[in-house]
Structure 1
Amino acid sequence: MNSDSEMRVPEGFFRKHRWSILLGLLVVLMLLDGLDDRFAWSSTAGLWGMSFLFLGVVGATERNTFLRVMMAVPVMGWFLLLIMAEFLGMTVNGGLYALAAIMLFGSMIISFRQLFAPVHSEYERLSSGVFGYLLIAMLWGLIYWRIEAAYPGSFNLPEDIVGQKAGFVYFSMITMTTVGYGEITPAASLTRMLTGMQAIVGTMFVAIFIGRIVGRLK
């Protein structure tokens, strides 16, 4: 076939810059978590922002794939629970947290796959890698937050961040980067093991990420 018959249909802006857009949205959502103790609206805005983030990940996933179908199911459940909570006044926090953990994990897997999949540019591959790295931090932070809520005292915490999700996401990020400032520390066997595992996962992700990027540039 000649080149004219093989001409591609131009793709939309989202398809070309999907991971850069999702990365920007994720950064905004993480910053909103930090405003939760100052502005009451930030929590609601964060929940709806997460909805669009998960919806965007489904849209960014390869079409007609099992992974896309598996991600679409919890996303629909998330929207249903969010509508029930916001408009019907029902208490569905447990379901929202469970679905958030599932979708964050699924989004992390999808973004990791982009390190090895064809992309429009290496800039998009870089964006997908950073997106996945931040998702790991958010997922682990959510797990830490719920563990502390279920078993108070699992962490040694400053008084000003007790019960705040942002504090645990922050702890997750400094654990992944092995900074370890020390103002938050695990105080139970389970949380100690989880923080150790996260440090290993974060180090391995960075090694694979850098190796893949350098390999593509050769």
Structure 2
Amino acid sequence: MTTRQIRERWGDSLLTVLTVLLLVMMFVVAPLQALGLFEFQVFELLLAIFLVGGVFVMSGSALAVVTMLIALAMIVTGAILRLRSPSILDLNLFAGAWLLVGITMAVTVAQATFAPGRVTYHRVIGAVLLYLAVAVIFAALYTFIGTLVPNAFAGMKVEDRPSLASQLIYFSFATLTTTGYGDVAPLHPIARSLCNVEAIFGQLYPATLLARLVTLEIAHRDQD
């Protein structure tokens, strides 16, 4: 079976698989990494490979394949540098890799989710995956801001440590969902601007596109 045949037959189901993998990475791997319960470089790398492989199968785009290979190479290089001596360089490599992964995943998933055809349960899950991918993108952007401007955030120091990924994900979702606990706050103008953009997306996307997809999925199901 060719990649194209796999994509045509299992494309919608892969949206659900990728969503589960990303959820595991953000809400299981990151907290365990923060607690130091396992060697996070190996497990994180394996999950990244699964995510990259899933996007390969779904996309069928040469540009997406090249982008994900570059991201994977950056992750491997960052992991090697981190094992030798943690520094800002490997942190920026990881941030750059996840920025590429997030953008590529968002574009690929959007194309699959909003493609012509019947709106299925898996496509609704794909819309949720797009929402999660946006959180990953902004977490990477916050990392760049934090490394360039050490005091860009109050309550969060961006430095290469096991708990950083969990803290960035927490802050990104607190912003995306406009929860705003207040324990971490943007101080730099660019950081504040990024938070505003993420918060606006986080409010408008579920209320418009995601709600529309759910309505269409229910309507198609009732027609059967």
TM-score (norm 2): 0.78
Considering only aligned residues, what root-mean-square deviation do their CA atoms show, in Å? 3.0
Higher CA-based Rg: 1
- The alpha-carbon deviation at position 51 of structure 1 amounts to 2.2
Percent same amino acid at aligned positions? 20
Q: Tell me the number of residue pairs that the alignment of Structure 1 and Structure 2 aligns.
A: 204
Give yes or no for contact 2:30–2:165 (8 Å, CA) kept in 1. Answer: yes
Following the alignment from structure 1 to structure 2, what is the Cα–Cα distance between the partners of residues 176 and 149? 21
**Which consecutive residues of structure 2, in runs of 5 or more, have no partner in the other structure?**
220-224
Partner of 1:18: 14
Query: What is the correspondence of 1:5-154 to structure 2 with a 5 Å cutoff?
Result: 14-15=10-11, 17-30=13-26, 31-39=28-36, 40-61=38-59, 63=60, 68-84=61-77, 93=90, 94-118=92-116, 122-154=120-152
Following the alignment from structure 1 to structure 2, what is the Cα–Cα distance between the partners of residues 115 and 13? 15
**Which consecutive residues of structure 1, in runs of 5 or more, have no partner in the other structure?**
1-8
**What secondary structure sits across from 1:35 in the alignment?**
helix
Give yes or no for contact 2:75–2:93 (8 Å, CA) kept in 1. Answer: no
Match of 2:216, as an amino acid?
A: G
Give yes or no for contact 2:12–2:123 (8 Å, CA) kept in 1. Answer: no
Following the alignment from structure 2 to structure 1, what is the Cα–Cα distance between the partners of residues 73 and 7? 30
Following the alignment from structure 2 to structure 1, what is the Cα–Cα distance between the partners of residues 114 and 193? 30
- Residue deviations 1:120-171, cap 9 Å, x none? 7611111101111111111111211231122111011168x99512111111
Match of 2:29, as an amino acid?
A: L
Partner of 1:201: 201
TM-score (norm 1): 0.80
Following the alignment from structure 1 to structure 2, what is the Cα–Cα distance between the partners of residues 217 and 101? 34
Following the alignment from structure 1 to structure 2, what is the Cα–Cα distance between the partners of residues 119 and 38? 44
Give the structure, 1 or 2, with the largest relative contact order (CA under 8 Å, sep 6 or more): 2
- Which structure has the highest helix share of the two? 2
Following the alignment from structure 1 to structure 2, what is the Cα–Cα distance between the partners of residues 80 and 158? 28
Following the alignment from structure 1 to structure 2, what is the Cα–Cα distance between the partners of residues 41 and 96? 16
Give yes or no for contact 1:178–1:199 (8 Å, CA) kept in 2. Answer: yes
